[in-house]
């Protein structure tokens, strides 16, 4: 049996792992990755001799997927939790405590935002339950549109945008209520008389459980463990140009950067996970290009592949022929759409509407005695005259990082529709991060060293109507046995949701193969 997984991010790696676990050594499993490294938008680099995540650095603690994977892979001791410190919001050239008991920054009453918004806005919030609510059950609208109309624009810019921006690298005006805040949509559908009442109904009960979890030595250890357990034939630096349905399964046509074509099959000497070498040698920052540039022949990917005993092969030299019993596409929405256009045009058309945001992370290593605020981070309100959108005070947030010889801070840049800073040089981004951090903390910032990671097209935007779009995508694939999709554009952008999508894709393929 031969199965290909396209995309070696967390979704694809989990899918590959689940397939190997279910089918064992009889499975010929191929993992295709367009870049020269695994992990997608997860990346761990060494700073001052210690691992630091340059993509996501936490996961939602209430979801079970990542702790479960760590346990399955013998990495339970890597699970860590933050210190429980709360972030600040920088608004009006001052730092404010993050409001408590809000739903992604949306309050159930005026008291939560006292001091963050002006008196007129507080009065508007207090009056909100008395105003008629225009909500169509089952409908959708932008979070920003709903909140601005009911509670005021200041609530959007100073409270909601900073929190949504940390999840989607977007703004409240580009994110739909139903996908981003499903419990709020459910409360509104159920007949809540006001937005304030809907928020109160949707808020979870108070809990002392950690909101987030993390991995002590970074996501790298999970990615490597998944790759090793999946034991695929890994082919990096190549991208499928076409997916074709055959009489008995599927075929993927590959192209290298010279446009050399090859059909994915059984021959070749690409090697296994164990032959890839240390994680630090897998790739360099900034190698990922915009998602929309991947599908065209000859535009992407190095031609050389890792082979057994260090032998390198080009895609064309692999001479692959044969058919695939199943394919999992764990690629960004624009890439997946280009591959599905010939076999599932309705699904491909629905995917085209999913837009991507770009961002950058600058990790700063500071002298250990730098007097950073005793908070987990600083979120920046929309409209503030700063370049950075948020700071994670990593050494304050994570106890295991506090014990290191440097103070670590991560600065985030870019939001949907505003990625101009990604074209800046590394030195300029580092200087902007240090200057803005000095502004919000009031202390001199002198980095010892720094790392820059750009994420072009890294996060899908869950616009209004996103759930309907996903339903159309999935309906368009329903009659194509042996083909499944996974990724952040489906049912959640967080790492646990991506892992869940990889598991779901593997289970769908396994169910199809059982019926065939």
CB 45 within 8 A of CB 74: no
The reported pLDDT for the residue numbered 261 is 52
The reported pLDDT for the residue numbered 45 is 97
pLDDT in tens, 128-144: 999 999 999 999 999 99
The reported pLDDT for the residue numbered 231 is 98
Give me Rg for the CA atoms of the chain. 23
The reported pLDDT for the residue numbered 264 is 57
Q: At what angle do helices 219-230 and 10-23 cross, to 10 degrees?
A: 30
28-33 and 2-6 beta bridge pairing: parallel
- Residues 402 and 494: their CA atoms lie apart, in Å, by 25
Residue with tokens 């080009």: 314
pLDDT band with cut points at 50, 70 and 90 for residue 207: confident
Residue 345: pLDDT over 50: yes
Instruction: Classify residue 249 by burial, with Cβ atoms within 10 Å: 0-12, 13-18, 19+.
Output: buried
What domains lie within the chain, and their CATH numbers?
2-42+219-354+462-515 (3.50.50.60), 59-63+72-85+210-216+356-459 (3.90.660.20), 102-197 (1.10.3110.10)
pLDDT in tens, 426-476: 999 999 999 999 999 999 999 999 999 999 999 999 999 999 999 999 999
- Rounded percentage of the chain residues whose pLDDT exceeds 70: 87
* Residue-by-residue DSSP string for 165-229: HHHHSS-GGGSBHHHH-HHHHHHHHTT-SSHHHHHHHHSPPP--S-SEEEETT-HHHHHHHHHHH
How many C-beta atoms lie closer than 10 Å to residue 336's C-beta?
Answer: 29
Show the CA angle centred on residue 296, arms to residues 293 and 300, nearest 5°.
60
pLDDT in tens, 213-261: 999 999 999 999 999 999 999 999 988 889 999 999 999 998 654 455 5
pLDDT in tens, 58-106: 999 999 999 999 999 999 999 999 999 999 999 999 999 999 999 999 9
Cα–Cα distances in angstroms (integers) from residue 272 to residues 44, 67, 231, 308, 330, in the given order: 21, 26, 6, 8, 19
Torsion, Cα of 306, 308, 314, 318 (10° steps): -130
pLDDT in tens, 360-386: 999 999 999 999 999 999 999 999 999
Residue 398: pLDDT over 70: yes
Name the token pair of 56. 């996501």
Secondary structure class of 483 (helix, strand, coil): strand
- Residues 242 and 81: their CA atoms lie apart, in Å, by 43
pLDDT band with cut points at 50, 70 and 90 for residue 418: confident
- Residues 24 and 3: their CA atoms lie apart, in Å, by 12
pLDDT in tens, 284-301: 333 333 333 333 333 333
pLDDT in tens, 19-45: 999 999 999 999 999 999 999 999 999
- Rounded percentage of the chain residues whose pLDDT exceeds 90: 82
CB 354 within 8 A of CB 461: yes
Q: For every residue of 324-342, which 3-state class applies, written as one string?
A: ECEEEECCCHHHHHHHHCC
Residue with tokens 């489906």: 490
Query: What's the mean per-residue pLDDT of the chain?
Result: 89
């Amino acid at each position: 049996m031969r199965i290909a997984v396209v995309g070696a991010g967390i979704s694809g790696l989990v899918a590959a792992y689940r397939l190997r676990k279910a089918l064992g050594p009889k499975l010929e499993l191929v993992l295709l990755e367009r870049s020269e490294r695994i992990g997608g938008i997860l990346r761990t680099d060494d700073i001052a001799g210690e691992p630091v995540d340059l993509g996501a650095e936490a996961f939602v603690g209430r979801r079970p997927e990542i702790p479960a994977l760590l346990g399955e892979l013998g990495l339970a001791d890597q699970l860590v939790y933050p210190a429980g410190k709360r972030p600040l919001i920088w608004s009006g050239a001052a730092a404010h405590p993050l409001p408590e008991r809000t739903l992604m920054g949306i309050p159930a009453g005026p008291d939560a935002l006292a001091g963050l918004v002006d008196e007129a806005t507080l009065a508007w919030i207090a009056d909100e339950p008395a105003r008629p609510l225009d909500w169509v059950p089952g409908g959708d609208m932008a979070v920003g549109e709903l909140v601005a109309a009911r509670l005021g624009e200041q609530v959007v810019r100073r409270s909601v945008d900073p929190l949504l921006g940390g999840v989607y690298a977007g703004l409240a005006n580009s994110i739909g209520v139903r996908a981003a805040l499903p419990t709020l949509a459910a409360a509104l559908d159920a007949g809540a008389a006001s937005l304030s009442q809907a928020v109160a109904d949707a808020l979870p009960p108070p809990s002392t459980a950690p909101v987030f979890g993390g991995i002590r030595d970074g996501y790298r250890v999970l990615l490597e463990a998944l790759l090793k357990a999946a034991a695929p034939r890994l082919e990096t630096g190549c991208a499928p140009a076409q997916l074709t349905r055959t009489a008995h399964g599927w075929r993927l046509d590959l192209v290298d950067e010279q446009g050399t074509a090859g059909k994915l099959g059984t021959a070749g000497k690409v090697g296994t996970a164990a032959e890839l070498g240390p994680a630090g040698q897998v790739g360099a920052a900034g190698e990922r290009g915009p998602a929309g540039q991947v599908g065209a022949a000859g535009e992407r990917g190095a031609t050389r592949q890792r082979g057994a005993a260090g032998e390198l092969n080009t895609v064309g030299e692999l001479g692959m022929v044969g058919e695939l019993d199943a394919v999992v596409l764990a690629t960004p929405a624009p890439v997946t759409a280009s591959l599905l256009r010939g076999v599932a045009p309705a699904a491909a058309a629905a995917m085209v509407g999913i837009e991507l945001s770009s961002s950058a992370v600058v990790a700063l290593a500071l002298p250990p005695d730098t007097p950073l605020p005793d908070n987990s981070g600083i979120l920046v309100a929309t409209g503030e005259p700063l370049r950075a959108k948020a700071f994670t005070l990593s050494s304050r947030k994570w106890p295991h990082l506090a014990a290191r010889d440097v103070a670590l801070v991560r600065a985030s840049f870019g939001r949907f529709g505003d990625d101009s800073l990604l074209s800046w040089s590394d030195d300029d981004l580092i200087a902007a991060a240090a200057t803005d951090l000095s502004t919000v903390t009031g202390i001199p910032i002198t980095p010892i060293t720094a790392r820059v990671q750009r994420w072009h097209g890294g996060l899908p935007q869950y616009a209004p109507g996103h759930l309907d779009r996903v339903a159309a995508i999935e309906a368009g694939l329903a009659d194509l046995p042996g083909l499944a999709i996974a990724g952040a554009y489906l049912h959640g952008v967080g790492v646990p949701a991506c892992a869940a999508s990889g598991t779901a894709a593997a289970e769908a393929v396994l169910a199809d193969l059982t019926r065939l």
